């Protein structure tokens, strides 16, 4: 957890203003492996989906899961300041950016090939029909993978610092304006274009 925090602090150029708590519970999260609210996160380690074993794959899944929740805490921390009027980003941005940032952290830990990682995620969705990213809050693995791919395409070669800027801006302006300011794109137009493009 400290590793993920240091990585995000370094990459986004901001550290957490407040400490966060990550609790690991030995219970089933009802399909969820992790959940965050405010400056707290819970990891559900008692369910059937929890990766058991001590191999590299199980370890990297757990590292990615914790990093995902830590990134949610960064999102929260950047938005909520003493004088903020936070504008809550839509589900696909909150989850897509957390998946993206966590994957960047784990890829850096293992010096993994990023393009290959993205390709594996594409292959996972190929041939599947996955709901639109603006269809509301859906918590399936497919939709998280799709949100990750939408975010990866959006980020391109942009550094993680842009995510720090974006979430900080959403503490002061409507998220749509923050999106335009940091990505030079209209969020609705971007999503429309992503949804229309079949996964290669
Ligand atoms: Zn999440």
In tens, the pLDDT along 78-98 reads 888 777 788 999 999 999 999
- Residue 196 reports pLDDT greater than 80: yes
Distance 89 CA to ligand 1 centre (A): 13
pLDDT at 42: 78
Indicate the DSSP class of residue 140.
-
Distance 98 CA to ligand 1 centre (A): 6
Q: What is the mean pLDDT of residues 158-181?
A: 96
Distance 120 CA to ligand 1 centre (A): 20
Distance 65 CA to ligand 1 centre (A): 9
Taking the CA atoms of 121, 99, 62 and 7 in sequence, report the sign of the dihedral they define.
positive
For residues 166 and 199, give the distance between their C-alpha atoms in angstroms, rounded to a whole number. Answer: 26
| 78-82, 116-120, 159-163, 183-187, range with the lowest pLDDT | 78-82
**Better-scored residue on pLDDT, 19 or 111:** 111
pLDDT digits (tens, 9 = 90+) for 52-88: 777 888 888 888 988 999 999 889 888 887 777 889 9
Distance 145 CA to ligand 1 centre (A): 12
In the block, which residue shows the tokens 């990615």?
64
- Residue 131 reports pLDDT greater than 80: yes
Distance 198 CA to ligand 1 centre (A): 25
For residues 121 and 155, give the distance between their C-alpha atoms in angstroms, rounded to a whole number. Answer: 16
Confidence bin at 50 (pLDDT 50/70/90): confident
Enclosing domain of residue 190:
2-196
Tell me phi and psi for residue 44, to 5 degrees: -100, 105
Distance 95 CA to ligand 1 centre (A): 5
| CATH label of the domain that carries residue 141 | 1.10.390.10
**Better-scored residue on pLDDT, 141 or 199:** 141
Q: What is the mean pLDDT of residues 170-188?
A: 96
Total number of domains constituting the chain: 1
- Residue 192 reports pLDDT greater than 80: yes
For residues 103 and 99, give the distance between their C-alpha atoms in angstroms, rounded to a whole number. Answer: 6
Q: Tokens representing 127? A: 């041939």
H runs (alpha helix) in 156-197: 161-169, 175-183, 187-196
Distance 115 CA to ligand 1 centre (A): 23
For residues 185 and 189, give the distance between their C-alpha atoms in angstroms, rounded to a whole number. Answer: 8
Distance 88 CA to ligand 1 centre (A): 14
Distance 72 CA to ligand 1 centre (A): 7
Tell me phi and psi for residue 118, to 5 degrees: -65, -40
Give the Å distances, CA to CA, from 69 to 29, 59, 139, 151, 181.
Answer: 14, 16, 15, 17, 26
Q: What predicted TM-score, i.e. pTM, was given to this entire model?
A: 0.89
Distance 43 CA to ligand 1 centre (A): 11
Distance 84 CA to ligand 1 centre (A): 22
Q: What is the mean pLDDT of the chain?
A: 87
Confidence bin at 136 (pLDDT 50/70/90): confident
pLDDT at 15: 81
Indicate the DSSP class of residue 88.
P
Distance 42 CA to ligand 1 centre (A): 11
């Amino acid at each position: 957890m400290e590793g993920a925090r240091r990585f995000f602090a370094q990459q986004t150029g901001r550290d957490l203003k407040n400490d966060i708590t990550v609790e690991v519970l030995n219970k089933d999260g009802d399909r969820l492996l992790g959940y965050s609210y405010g400056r707290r996160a819970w990891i559900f380690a008692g369910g059937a989906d929890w990766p058991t074993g001590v191999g590299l794959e199980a370890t990297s899944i757990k590292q990615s899961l914790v990093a995902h929740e830590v990134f949610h805490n960064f999102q929260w921390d950047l938005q909520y300041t003493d004088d903020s009027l936070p504008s809550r980003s839509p589900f696909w941005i909150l989850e897509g950016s957390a998946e993206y940032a966590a994957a960047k952290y784990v890829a850096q830990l293992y010096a993994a090939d990023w393009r290959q990682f993205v390709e594996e995620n594409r292959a996972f969705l190929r041939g599947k029909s996955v709901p639109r990213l603006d269809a509301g809050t859906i918590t399936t693995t497919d939709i998280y993978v799709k949100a990750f791919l939408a975010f990866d395409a959006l980020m391109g070669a942009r550094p993680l610092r842009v995510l720090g800027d974006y979430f900080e801006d959403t503490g002061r302006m409507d998220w749509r304006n923050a999106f335009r300011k940091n990505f030079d794109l209209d969020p609705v137009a971007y999503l429309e274009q992503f949804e229309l493009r079949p996964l290669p």
